[in-house]
Amino acid sequence: MSHKLRVGIIGCGGIANGKHFPALSGNKNVEIVAFCDIDLEKAREAAAKYGAENAGVYADYTELLKDSSLDVVHVCTPNDSHAEISIAALEAGNHVMCEKPMAKTAAEARAMLEASRRTGKKLTIGYNNRYRTDSQHLKKVCEAGDLGEIYYARAHAIRRRAVPTWGVFLDEEKQGGGPLIDIGTHALDLTLWMMDNYKPVSVTGSVYHKLGSKENGANAWGPWDPAKFTVEDSAMGFIKMENGATIVLEASWALNTLDIDEAKCSLSGTEGGADMKGGLRINGEEHSRLFVKEVDLSAGGVAFYSGNSSRDIDVECGMWIDAILQDKDPVVLPEQALVVTEILEAMYESAKTGKTVYMNQQD
Q: Judge whether 200 lies within some domain.
A: yes
Averaged confidence pLDDT in the chain? 95
Q: Using the predicted structure, report yes or no on whether residue 160 has a pLDDT greater than 70.
A: yes
Q: Which of 125, 157, 188 is the last residue of a domain?
A: 125
Per-residue pLDDT band for 363 (boundaries 50, 70, 90) equals very low
Tell me, yes or no, whether 118 and 136 share the same domain: no
Query: Which has more confidence, 290 or 300?
Result: 290
Tell me, yes or no, whether 121 and 164 share the same domain: no
Per-residue pLDDT band for 2 (boundaries 50, 70, 90) equals low
Q: What is the pLDDT of residue 343?
A: 98
Q: What is the pLDDT of residue 276?
A: 96
**CATH number of the domain enclosing 30:** 3.40.50.720
Tell me, yes or no, whether 94 and 142 share the same domain: no
Q: Average pLDDT of 111-126?
A: 98
Q: Judge whether 79 lies within some domain.
A: yes
Tell me, yes or no, whether 209 and 80 share the same domain: no
Q: Which of 125, 143, 162 is the last residue of a domain?
A: 125
Q: Tens of pLDDT along 100-114?
A: 999 999 999 999 999
pTM score of the predicted model? 0.94
What residues have CB less than 8 Å from 307, skipping those under 6 apart?
A: 314, 315, 318
Q: Average pLDDT of 77-82?
A: 96
Phi and psi at residue 59, to the nearest 5°:
-105, -15
Q: Judge whether 325 lies within some domain.
A: no
Q: Judge whether 165 lies within some domain.
A: yes
E strand or H helix that includes residue 164: none
Q: Using the predicted structure, report yes or no on whether residue 361 has a pLDDT greater than 90.
A: no
Q: How many domains does the chain have?
A: 2
Pairing assessment for the beta strands 5-10 and 200-208 based on DSSP bridges: unpaired
Helices (H), 165-219: 172-175, 179, 185-195
Q: Judge whether 363 lies within some domain.
A: no
Task: Output the DSSP codes for 16-71.
Answer: IIIIIHHHHHT-TTEEEEEEE-SSHHHHHHHHHHHPPTT-EEESSHHHHTT-TT--
Tell me, yes or no, whether 171 and 298 share the same domain: yes
**CATH number of the domain enclosing 293:** 3.30.360.10
Q: What is the pLDDT of residue 3?
A: 79
Domain limits for position 42: 5-125
Q: What is the pLDDT of residue 105?
A: 97
CA 308 to chain centre: 23
Q: What is the pLDDT of residue 215?
A: 87
Q: Judge whether 22 lies within some domain.
A: yes
Q: Tens of pLDDT along 214-268?
A: 988 899 999 999 999 999 999 999 999 999 999 999 999 999 999 999 999 999 9
For residue 86, how many other CB atoms are within 10 A of its CB?
31
Q: Which of 96, 125, 154 is the last residue of a domain?
A: 125
Q: Tens of pLDDT along 188-224?
A: 999 999 999 999 999 999 999 999 999 888 999 999 9
Q: Using the predicted structure, report yes or no on whether residue 308 has a pLDDT greater than 70.
A: no
